[in-house]
Chains A and B, each alone.
Chain A
Amino acid sequence: MKYMLIMRSTAEAIEASKSMDFTEIINAMGAYNESMVKAGVLIGGDGLTDAQEGFVVDFGGETPVVTDGPYGEVHELFNGFWIVEVSSREEAAQWASRAPLGAGSKLEVRRITDESDFEAFSDNEYIQKEKEWRGEGALG
């Protein structure tokens, strides 16, 4: 089963990171990634650029409004993720707990759905189509 480890920040973590040596952060992240590569569990992951480059689509009103922010709270931001393939929820939790993240950071760990999650809807037109899209690589 696959899990996504989602990095979340807090104001405290952002503040703390300002005084940290970026090379150290890269090295710690690199060592963590390497340990997962060497255990054969890491199958994907990427960082996200600064939230200021991002934007928000707000569904609060009658029609969606695209704005360049602001995000409601810092904890709504996330700045990167890993995808691991492991044998249990506990194993995913163990890997997550080893991430070299500083005080204030949070990792949200979510299982990635697979076909078995939609078995009850296997006749559904769009579930069928989704398989085709995946087959064509449209969903990456």
Chain B
Amino acid sequence: MNPGPNGVDGASIHRTVDAVWRIESARIVATLAKVTGDFSLAEDLAQEAVIDALAQWPSAGVPQNPGAWLTAVAKRKAIDGWRRRERLDDRYRAIAHDLAELGDATDAGEPIDDDVLRLVFTACHPVLGREAQVALTLRVVGGLSTEEIARLFLVPVATVQQRIVRAKKTLAAAKTPFETPDPSEWSARLGSVLGVVYLIFTEGYSATSGDRWMRAELAGEALRLGRMVAGLVPREAEAHALVALMEFQASRFGARSRADGSPVLLADQDRARWDRAQIGRGVAALERADALGRGRGPYALQAAIAECHAVAPSVDDTDWERIVVLYEALGRIAPNPVVELNRAVAVSMAVGPASGLRIVDEISTSGALAGSYLLPSVRGELLARLGRVQEARSELTTAAGLVANDRQRQVLLDKAAALEE
């Protein structure tokens, strides 16, 4: 992949630069952020280096080590910038010296995993809201362009731009140091990183709005980020567990929608279309998590539940008792009404719909999930199985009125319509 000066068209160089950026941007930005101490400046410098690449590579050819080329150019820009602004006070003089010294050592492949990890933690810093964390993570860690992020989240480019600009300002205003958190904060901060990755995945797995039921590209990006984080913190069981969970869920993508884009629910999915290689990777990732021997956290328990589904030949042959136990464990360490609702479904499969309905009614009485379509949709389902058709139809219609995704709404309305008196 070293095209000479001749015969390289602009579009092809652009695609190559995009690919290099995707692979290298996290390392480049991380290196620059470390030496400049300024996360926002680091990203700007790296982007400027890309503009230089687009101008120079078509005639000069793609360099042997494009990542090192971009890093070197960005570093030079940092030093030039300080000189221009005559800000060569002692601190910057020292940094400029460091940059010059550091130059080739870093490019030769000095371990900078810690820098990338700092980048991940900075992008997911708690001073930022979730939307900002998501945008910043995809941009600076994932190397996605503002346009790509906007396309994936179905929001205007200007919105993403604003989120990123504001996020950078917030980080600067809070004087966020570019560092990995203190050991005492470690688990909470890693939890937030994993949460951001999973949020990106779930948005791809089941779009909260719009006319598409899922967006595989977004889920794929989350998987890549998740595998990346697990690669950076291989001793963290929950990172591997999250990868396992995402692999299991993504293995069903091929079976989750029909040719016309309408969704197919778990019970109706053609399991032959689940991606076995992906399920295999999920099993392996969960084994890695378990092998660390520190017990199962929330992602590991969810992954274990997903594994039960993934390895079951059919809905009836699913180990529902085991799923109930796993949901009970999950409810103890991460109490959450949605988990409780899922437990109700599992109980209804293991024991019968009446037992499931009792749990649903308890959630209902507690007032949790009020206004969510989830509660009436599950309740409607269970009532239908109990033969209480009229109540079931009313619940399903209520659920349809509460759901924001067009595809999901249609599924609920179809179910209500299909109920026989």
Contact = CB atoms under 8 A, between A and B. Distances in A.
Contacts of B113: 38
B1 A96 contact: yes
Contacts of A131: 270, 272-273
A39 interface: yes
A68 interface: no
Given A40-B224, A96-B1, A97-B1, A88 B277 contact: no
Interface string A129-140: 001101111011
B218 to A, nearest CB: 12
Contacts of A44: 277
B228 interface: yes
A94 interface: yes
B276 A95 contact: no
Contacts of B231: 34, 37-40
Interface in B211-245: 217, 220, 223-228, 231-232
Nearest to A140: B277
A101 interface: no
Contact of A134 (B18, B22, B23, B272): B272
A140 B276 contact: yes
A44 B220 CA distance: 16
Count chain B CB atoms within 10 A of each CB in A40, A43, A93 and give the residue with the most: A40
A46 interface: no
Contacts of A94: 1, 16, 19-20, 23, 66
A85 B224 contact: yes
Interface in B256-291: 270-277, 280-281
Given A90-B15, A93-B19, A135-B272, A31 B109 contact: yes
Contact of B18 (A40, A90, A115): A90
Contacts of A89: 15
B2 interface: yes
Interface in A94-128: 94-97, 115
Interface in B10-27: 15-16, 18-20, 22-23
B23 A136 contact: no
Nearest to B272: A135
B37 interface: no
B282 to A, nearest CB: 12
Contacts of A38: 113, 116, 228, 231-232
Interface residues on A, range: 20 to 34
A94 to B, nearest CB: 5
Contacts of B281: 43
A134 B15 contact: no
Contact of B227 (A37, A97, A139): A37
Interface residues of B, number: 34
Contact of A40 (B15, B217, B228, B271): B228
B103 interface: no
Contacts of B23: 39, 91, 94-95
A43 B277 CA distance: 9
Contacts of B277: 43-44, 140
B254 interface: yes
Contacts of B280: 137
A43 B275 CA distance: 13
Interface in A44-86: 44, 85
A96 B16 CA distance: 13
A43 B231 CA distance: 12
A31 to B, nearest CB: 7
B272 A40 contact: no
A41 interface: yes
A88 B145 CA distance: 14
Contacts of B274: 135
B58 to A, nearest CB: 14
Contacts of B22: 87, 91
A113 to B, nearest CB: 13
Contacts of B273: 131, 135
Contacts of B66: 94
A39 B15 contact: no
A88 B227 CA distance: 18
Contacts of A136: 272, 276
B2 A97 contact: yes
Pick the 7 closest A-B CB pairs, nearest first.
A135-B272, A40-B227, A90-B19, A38-B231, A40-B224, A40-B228, A97-B1
Given A40-B223, A135-B274, A136-B272, 10 more contacts: A37-B231, A39-B23, A39-B224, A41-B227, A85-B220, A85-B223, A97-B1, A135-B272, A139-B276, A140-B276
10 contacts: A38-B113, A38-B116, A39-B231, A40-B225, A93-B16, A93-B19, A94-B66, A131-B273, A135-B273, A137-B276
Interface of A: 31, 34, 37-41, 43-44, 85, 87-91, 93-97, 115, 131-132, 134-137, 139-140
Interface of B: 1-2, 15-16, 18-20, 22-23, 66, 109, 113, 116, 217, 220, 223-228, 231-232, 254, 270-277, 280-281
